[in-house]
Amino acid sequence: MNNDIKRSMELDKRYIWHPFTQMQGWLEAEQMVIDSGDGFYLIDTDGNRYIDGISSLWCNVHGHRVKKIDDAIKDQLGKIAHSTLLGLGQSASAVLAEKLIEIAPDNLKKVFYSDSGATSVEIALKIAYQYYHNIGKPRKKFIALGDSYHGDTIGAVSVGGMELFHSIYKPMLFETLFAPSPNLYRFDGTSRQCAEFTLGKIKQLLKDNTGNIAAVIAEPLVQGAAGIIVHPKGFLKNLRELTKKYDTLLIVDEVATGFGKTGKMFACEVESVQPDIMCVAKGITGGYLPLAATLTTQELFDGFLGEVDECKTFYHGHTYTGNALACAAAIASLELFDENKIIASLPKKIKLLEEYLEKIAVLPFVGNVRNAGMMAGVEIVKDKGTKQSFENKYQVGAKLCAIMRDNGAMMRPLSDVIVIMPPVAIDIETLRKLLDIVYETLQNELPELTRII
């Protein structure tokens, strides 16, 4: 290890507080530091290569150091890195907005930029809330799904339903009405009954709160952070119909699912759903730079028009809203989707992934496998019959992912769910290599691990 690398690790431990990380364990142990990337591989400071099995936390699309995106950022640097969108236009953000509207569901016509998934959700909630205020029919509440995750800011946490992450903050949050997540593996009944159970609860909440629900918010098709909980087929479409029938807005949070992950450009497309508001982030720049967007209908946008003293303005914005470098990266990423026919290439990759999932499903301690396109989860349980989980203290998922890392795949679990979510542009050979590492680790190491604990 050269001195620069040694020093950067020392500085990291001295100064950095890592997200979603128990820092006690971090400070005690030797840690891996990623130094560079090469296509679908990450390279650590010792030169070891790992397939990026979780697309750098679900955002990388075309791989790392992609020439077209690198060049687009460099070209934009030659013009300007950033100028504000507050009362001022900026060309890269305008060009990107047109491209986003072209690929988004047809009814979405306007783009409000921000810089993370969480902020795109905050904006969606505030737009829904203020829209009803502006049209003189104020509504105060939101409906969300249990176990949902929409980011870590207070509004996003208020509509989030993950006990482990969110319960501590309850006194700080606004009240949200929750319906149980349609989690088929943990539901005693058929897929249809599972969907109907949740939809029935939402219907009841809508009826009980007529005229007071600003929006229903949901992750479309799959609840990622909850452990890749894949919704029953038709759930999203039925949710859309329900929100229309009971005259409320539907916000879809496509932060994780957007940009090819479910096999289509957006999850909404899979069930031909047109939401009122759509949040996108993560993959929007190909996984290069922080950028997010909240897309809305013309009707919502029009609800904010008026003279200044009518106070209908949307008073929300962030300093780096619509950052030009990030927009340039996003434009290049969307062009690569076309040039490399990424969406058309997905069925073959999804088929391979599903073939491996079938093999994995029959292994000991694998309770459930599930996927929505390229987003897959393998749930490890203590008892396949009762579906009982291992106690959290054993950290089975984390231990398995550490072994997979040693075997050349960069993985990160969600509790005991092993997440497989490579960049969607990954080539078949590299995908097969990744899946071999996952399969072999689960086949050979999991029984051994359970013997020790």
Binding site for ligand PLP (CB under 6 A): 116-118, 121, 149-151, 219, 224-225, 253, 255-256, 281
Question: In this complex, which beta carbon is closest to ligand PLP, that of residue 39 or of residue 290?
Answer: 290
User: Which of these, 233, 232, 234, 237, lies nearest to 184 by C-alpha position?
Assistant: 232
Q: Which residues of 181-198 are buried (b: 16+ CB within 10 A; e: fewer)?
A: bbbbbbbeeebeebbbbb
The distance of closest approach from Cβ of residue 159 to ligand PLP in the complex, given in angstroms and rounded to an integer, is 10
The distance of closest approach from Cβ of residue 174 to ligand PLP in the complex, given in angstroms and rounded to an integer, is 17
Residue nearest to ligand PLP (CB): 117
The distance of closest approach from Cβ of residue 120 to ligand PLP in the complex, given in angstroms and rounded to an integer, is 7
| DSSP bridge partners of 234 | none
- Strands of 49-52's sheet in order across: 34-38, 41-44, 49-52, 409-410
- Both tokens of 136, joined, read 């003189």
For residues 362 and 419, the answer to whether their CB atoms sit within 8 Å is no
The CA distance from 134 to 145, in Å, is 27
Do the strands 292-297 and 277-280 form a parallel or antiparallel pair, or are they unpaired?
antiparallel
DSSP state of 173: S
Do the strands 213-218 and 249-253 form a parallel or antiparallel pair, or are they unpaired?
parallel
The distance of closest approach from Cβ of residue 99 to ligand PLP in the complex, given in angstroms and rounded to an integer, is 20
Question: In this complex, which beta carbon is closest to ligand PLP, that of residue 40 or of residue 149?
Answer: 149
Q: Residue 336, Cβ neighbours under 10 Å: how many?
A: 20
Q: Which residues of 151-174 are buried (b: 16+ CB within 10 A; e: fewer)?
A: bbeebbbbbbbbeeebeeeeeeee
Question: In this complex, which beta carbon is closest to ligand PLP, that of residue 19 or of residue 78?
Answer: 19
For residues 295 and 277, the answer to whether their CB atoms sit within 8 Å is yes
| DSSP bridge partners of 380 | 366
Written as one letter, the residue type at 361 is A
- What values do phi and psi take at 128, rounded to 5? -60, -45
The distance of closest approach from Cβ of residue 448 to ligand PLP in the complex, given in angstroms and rounded to an integer, is 31
Question: In this complex, which beta carbon is closest to ligand PLP, that of residue 249 or of residue 251?
Answer: 251
The distance of closest approach from Cβ of residue 296 to ligand PLP in the complex, given in angstroms and rounded to an integer, is 17
Question: In this complex, which beta carbon is closest to ligand PLP, that of residue 265 or of residue 360?
Answer: 265
Question: In this complex, which beta carbon is closest to ligand PLP, that of residue 199 or of residue 421?
Answer: 421
Question: In this complex, which beta carbon is closest to ligand PLP, that of residue 219 or of residue 271?
Answer: 219
The distance of closest approach from Cβ of residue 55 to ligand PLP in the complex, given in angstroms and rounded to an integer, is 11
Question: In this complex, which beta carbon is closest to ligand PLP, that of residue 121 or of residue 334?
Answer: 121
Question: Which residues have a Cβ under 8 Å from the Cβ of 184 and sit 6 or more positions away?
Answer: 191, 194, 230, 232
The helix (run of H) or strand (run of E) holding residue 326 is: helix 324-339
The distance of closest approach from Cβ of residue 225 to ligand PLP in the complex, given in angstroms and rounded to an integer, is 5
Question: In this complex, which beta carbon is closest to ligand PLP, that of residue 35 or of residue 152?
Answer: 152
The distance of closest approach from Cβ of residue 381 to ligand PLP in the complex, given in angstroms and rounded to an integer, is 23
For residues 166 and 157, the answer to whether their CB atoms sit within 8 Å is yes
